[in-house]
């Protein structure tokens, strides 16, 4: 995960599939470590000039409930962040 986060930091908006993809129905993106072969995802969003990683959760096809919880957690955290931003 740390490798993927460093890649996100370094490449920002240029990071595309298979390393990053949009989360359907949200404004979130998922960071896909090891080009999607990792069972974990980092959910993030660009806010201003910052990339905010709001949750780490399991990959959706392996644990759909865990992924949904990650989305809910990320949404709450991002709302709180935006209030203070």
CB distance 15 to 4 below 8 Å: no
Q: Looking at residue 85, what is its pLDDT?
A: 80
Residue-wise pLDDT tens digits, 25-82: 999 999 999 999 999 999 999 999 999 999 999 999 999 999 999 999 999 999 999 9
Average pLDDT over residues 9-35: 93
Domain boundaries, the chain: 2-84
Burial classification of residue 3, based on how many CB atoms lie within 10 Å of its CB (0-12 exposed, 13-18 middle, 19 or more buried): exposed
pLDDT at 13: 78
Could you tell me if 23 and 29 are in contact, meaning their C-beta atoms sit under 8 angstroms apart?
Answer: yes
Q: What is the pTM of this model?
A: 0.93
What is residue 12's predicted lDDT score, i.e. its pLDDT? 77
């Amino acid at each position: 995960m740390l490798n993927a986060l460093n890649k996100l930091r370094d490449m920002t908006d240029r990071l595309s599939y298979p390393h990053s993809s949009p989360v359907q129905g949200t404004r979130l993106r998922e960071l896909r470590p090891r080009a999607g072969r990792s069972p974990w995802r980092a959910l993030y969003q660009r806010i201003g000039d910052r990339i905010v990683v709001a949750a780490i959760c399991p990959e959706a096809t392996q644990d759909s409930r865990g992924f949904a919880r990650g989305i809910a957690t990320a949404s709450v955290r991002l709302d709180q962040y935006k209030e203070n931003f």
